[in-house]
Structure 1
Amino acid sequence: MKRITAAASALAAGSLTLAGCSTSTPADTDLDAAIAEAADVTTCVPGEHTLSVVGGSQATDAMAVATAALQEKYPELTIEAEPAATSGYAELTQQVVADIAVGKRPDVIMSGLGQLGFWVEEYDAAPIDPSALADTYQDQFLAAGTVDGEVYLAPAQISAPVLLVNQDALDAAGAGQAEDIVDYASWIAAAQKVTEATGAPSVSIASVGLADWYSQAFVQASGGTFVAQDGTAGFDDATGIEALNIWPTMAEQGLELGVLNVQEAIAPFASGEAAFVVATTSMIATLQGMVGEAFALTAVDLPGANGTEGDLPAGGNGWIVLSDDSCEAAYASEYIGLLLGTEAVLKASGTEYSYIPVDSAAAEQLLATEGLSQAVTYAWTYDKALTPWGGFDGTMTAQVNDAINTMAQELQLGAAAEDAVPAAAAAIDAIVGGN
């Protein structure tokens, strides 16, 4: 148990890199720096330019592939592309903001999908040219990097919310098959049988760390709107309340463990104590390694209240162009194309990870791996449409996420959704300048 708990802690620390940005903008930051339109690269002199790239540690291998390929094409181009020591998106954002504040504006940055609005609204990120991406890039994922119809982020390491199930626990309790869990009613019925058999709660849904992402997933899976078109909260209607009522419903019936943090919520599932955990597909490969053959780890679509009636929000990261030099913007575009090519995607979504491959050729190679489990196969074959994560005012991400975290914790503790959900929506609207 000690080994699994320690491994779960490390895994969860990685999952928290999906959390919303908590940075603020330094007062002396130059927000008015003009983003350059990419030049015709044939008019540029490589030896006169330096391409600066900032990515998280999870991009180390992919960056090495892209850097080597671009350096081979342009030997005289200086490329500064050392991965940061952190894999945390908030820390990475803070580093880039601090660099810009002292005049070191990078050309290409990695961003968590939850921070996209921040970079577009505060730093005037440049649009991405999809034609610069390989033909094998799966462009359905571009929606996750789109703001107001324009692509500003090219998704790289993508994940989706998922329900992970211990099928052995269901078998022992006569609770049916994981694949038959398609809505809240079937999920609750299966959880009730497991809890009756074990005498303990069987579901783990963290309310801290990824609460904004999970909440958006529950609402959208139930056919609801998380962010209204005017940028205010869209989940304070009957559909949103029903969707988010999953927490107090589970609590009232003694089915949910009540563990707040993502780190602590994963461990009971990995150890076999809980039969269900809401998670991210990017965790699956590591969890599978932890579980081994102890039980049949099974992944199924995260259910909504009455089935999966809407697209889920994308998690993970992607690449953004911030160049203020037209030639460096052109090299940045080529670099991102290489980052999202087959070889680099194999590194980014390889056997140590279970990110959804954004390159179809890479996906084919990964799926040819012998002995793949159902859960890892689920992650690598995920091809459903995904929406952007969040959508509220990017400059208010931290404050909005605090309001959602508070709501999720209250719901997990059994607060009535009819009260907690409208209260959270009103708080968010006040933050973003709505009602």
Structure 2
Amino acid sequence: MLDQIISRLGLALAGAALMAISVTTARAEVTLDVLYTTPGTFNALHQELARRFTEANPEIKVKFRNPAASYEEAAQQILRDQITGRLPDVAFNGINQIGLFVDRGLGAPLDGFVARDGGLAELGYYPTLAELGKHKGKLYGLPFAVSTPVLYVNADLLAKAGSDVSALPKTWPELLALGKNVEVKAGTGTTGLYYQWEQTGNWLFQSLVTSKGGRILKPDGCSIAFDDANGMWALKTLEGFGKSGMPNLGLGQARQSFVAGNIAILADSTSYVAAAERQIGGRFQFKTVAFPLAATEGRLPAGGNVAMVFSKDAERQRAAWQYVKFVTGPVGQTAMVNLTGYMPGNEIAVKTPDLLGAFYAKAPNHVTSIQQLPVLTEWTSFPGDNSLKIIEVIKHHVEGLVTGKRTAEQVMPEVVRDVSSLLPKCGG
């Protein structure tokens, strides 16, 4: 599939590839050890990008580890690798995990490499997205596949309820009411609205908080900030989903139900857009719509993953940089977008007609993510040794809300207590 996509880009893409890759001086052959996640989404893409990179850089080979199922699983593996001394040279990690690694002395700063190749602007990275790869003032990751939360809409089901995408409500209570109307009109087996609450454990919880103008952590980085009116609003919204009778589905279950035509409105990551379009195959009208902002100062956490260099050897770092620069550059990002629904981190790719310019002109469902670029903010990383455990704690509490077992008033003090107890003490 990906071979066909890239072949259609033609000679212009091949020429761009040669310009995008800096030719390294002759050195001994290096084989990079690379780890990525989510094989169902990324297997074909990474294999193809590695093949194309090696063709242009024959002195650098790429060997993939068995991919991790999730960002959290990959993070656990890398932390184990630090103990055994078997770190990958390059890894594709969740944007929210940069701090987790850097605070443990992992990850090579990329500032020097970027400067030697002309700077972030010259290389084409969106400033907003490149900023997400920084930690404590240094650049450690470059955007490979960035996602934003959006609404997936089955326009045919909306029509049965006398509505259409252009008139879609802008608030969650109104969306829930529309969903219930769809369920009445469409009949048994239809879900009016489904919110992918469990995605990466806390991303769509964070999305609600920041869409209201709230924060997850205070500026000190180690104190809870969602124990306020914005956080309570987010918890009550999740409680509302549970009270509406929304089923509790797994991530894959919900997506398969949507493409089967059984969910009218699905709140999900843009990462699934391309796959959804292929699986729907025109059986119903599928549209994406921007995620609702509940306040004028509302923002959305940028999801997805960045490419990081973990090599400690200088020669391997140089080779790893060449690979990172390629996969996050115009050609790598063009292939990535064509296969997935993720947002590219490289503006050159988007503005070049022979790369992604023509693609976006014909792919409105993918444009929604690009349009949300001005409101993107950080996907908060929890500091300290309990970073990954905190994600699981939040997921547990949110599940109590969306299953109707708990109320927001019950959950707020408990989630604040549990997360706070796992955070490091400021200055300690």
Q: TM-score range by the shorter chain?
A: 0.7 to 0.9
Bigger drift between 212-221 and 226-235 goes to 226-235
Q: Which amino acid aligns with 2:258?
A: F
The count of corresponding residues between Structure 1 and Structure 2 is 384
Deviation string 1:215-262 (CA, Å, 9 cap, x unpaired) is 00111011111122232322121111112322222332x3x5221421
Return the alpha-carbon distance in structure 2 between the equivalents of residues 371 and 146 of structure 1. Answer: 31
- CA shift at 1:407, angstroms? 1.4
Return the alpha-carbon distance in structure 2 between the equivalents of residues 226 and 103 of structure 1. Answer: 33
- CA shift at 1:94, angstroms? 4.5
1:160–1:315 contact (8 Å) kept in structure 2: yes
- CA shift at 1:45, angstroms? 7.5
2:64 alignment partner, SS class = coil
Of 76, 79, 82 in structure 1, the residue corresponding to residue 63 of structure 2 is 82
- CA shift at 1:425, angstroms? 1.7
Return the alpha-carbon distance in structure 2 between the equivalents of residues 67 and 141 of structure 1. Answer: 27
Q: Which amino acid aligns with 2:97?
A: Q
Return the alpha-carbon distance in structure 2 between the equivalents of residues 115 and 376 of structure 1. Answer: 25
- CA shift at 1:282, angstroms? 0.8
Cross-structure match for 1:356? 343
- CA shift at 1:284, angstroms? 0.6
1:109 alignment partner, SS class = strand
2:290–2:369 contact (8 Å) kept in structure 1: no
Cross-structure match for 2:414? 423
Cross-structure match for 1:164? 152
Cross-structure match for 2:51? 64
Matching of residue 46 in structure 1 with residue 35 in structure 2 = no
Residues 378, 246 of structure 1: CA spacing in aligned structure 2 closer, same or farther, 3 A cutoff? same
Return the alpha-carbon distance in structure 2 between the equivalents of residues 308 and 168 of structure 1. Answer: 31
Cross-structure match for 1:210? 200
Cross-structure match for 2:12? none
Return the alpha-carbon distance in structure 2 between the equivalents of residues 42 and 273 of structure 1. Answer: 51
Q: Which amino acid aligns with 1:110?
A: F
Residues 93, 63 of structure 1: CA spacing in aligned structure 2 closer, same or farther, 3 A cutoff? farther
Q: Which amino acid aligns with 1:232?
A: S
Q: Which amino acid aligns with 2:248?
A: V
- CA shift at 1:155, angstroms? 1.2
2:181–2:192 contact (8 Å) kept in structure 1: no
Of 124, 147, 156 in structure 1, the residue corresponding to residue 106 of structure 2 is 124
Bigger drift between 209-218 and 169-178 goes to 169-178
- CA shift at 1:179, angstroms? 5.7
Residues 90, 242 of structure 1: CA spacing in aligned structure 2 closer, same or farther, 3 A cutoff? closer
Bigger drift between 306-315 and 365-374 goes to 365-374
1:245–1:417 contact (8 Å) kept in structure 2: yes
The normalised TM-score by structure 2 is 0.80
Return the alpha-carbon distance in structure 1 between the equivalents of residues 263 and 186 of structure 2. Answer: 10
Residues 85, 171 of structure 1: CA spacing in aligned structure 2 closer, same or farther, 3 A cutoff? same
Cross-structure match for 1:9? none
Listed as ranges, the gaps of 5+ residues in structure 2 are: 1-21
Cross-structure match for 2:264? 275
Cross-structure match for 2:252? 263
Return the alpha-carbon distance in structure 2 between the equivalents of residues 90 and 209 of structure 1. Answer: 11
Cross-structure match for 2:228? 237
Return the alpha-carbon distance in structure 1 between the equivalents of residues 349 and 26 of structure 2. Answer: 33
Cross-structure match for 1:321? 309
Listed as ranges, the gaps of 5+ residues in structure 1 are: 1-40
Cross-structure match for 2:3? none
- CA shift at 1:52, angstroms? 2.7
Q: Which amino acid aligns with 2:272?
A: M
- CA shift at 1:63, angstroms? 2.9
Return the alpha-carbon distance in structure 2 between the equivalents of residues 173 and 402 of structure 1. Answer: 37
Return the alpha-carbon distance in structure 2 between the equivalents of residues 86 and 51 of structure 1. Answer: 17
- CA shift at 1:404, angstroms? 0.7
Cross-structure match for 1:432? 423
Matching of residue 248 in structure 1 with residue 248 in structure 2 = no
2:263 alignment partner, SS class = coil
Bigger drift between 80-89 and 289-298 goes to 80-89
Cross-structure match for 1:405? 395
Amino-acid identity (%): 25
Return the alpha-carbon distance in structure 2 between the equivalents of residues 162 and 94 of structure 1. Answer: 29
Deviation string 1:82-127 (CA, Å, 9 cap, x unpaired) is 1233253344445444544443344332222232222112233222
- CA shift at 1:283, angstroms? 0.2
Q: Which amino acid aligns with 1:145?
A: G
Deviation string 1:407-430 (CA, Å, 9 cap, x unpaired) is 111110232212212311210000
Return the alpha-carbon distance in structure 1 between the equivalents of residues 349 and 230 of structure 2. Answer: 38
- CA shift at 1:353, angstroms? 1.3
1:81 alignment partner, SS class = strand
Of 376, 387, 393 in structure 1, the residue corresponding to residue 366 of structure 2 is 376
2:219 alignment partner, SS class = coil
Mapping 1:189-200, distance limit 5 Å: 189-198=177-186
Residues 158, 203 of structure 1: CA spacing in aligned structure 2 closer, same or farther, 3 A cutoff? same
1:140–1:385 contact (8 Å) kept in structure 2: no
Residues 81, 413 of structure 1: CA spacing in aligned structure 2 closer, same or farther, 3 A cutoff? same
1:174–1:193 contact (8 Å) kept in structure 2: no
Return the alpha-carbon distance in structure 2 between the equivalents of residues 308 and 62 of structure 1. Answer: 40
Bigger drift between 314-323 and 83-92 goes to 83-92
2:130–2:345 contact (8 Å) kept in structure 1: no
Matching of residue 309 in structure 1 with residue 309 in structure 2 = no
1:409 alignment partner, SS class = helix
Q: Which amino acid aligns with 1:270?
A: V
The normalised TM-score by structure 1 is 0.79
2:154–2:286 contact (8 Å) kept in structure 1: yes
1:206–1:259 contact (8 Å) kept in structure 2: no
Bigger drift between 363-372 and 340-349 goes to 363-372
CA RMSD between the two structures: 3.0
Cross-structure match for 1:221? 211
- CA shift at 1:51, angstroms? 5.6
Cross-structure match for 2:11? none
1:176–1:190 contact (8 Å) kept in structure 2: no
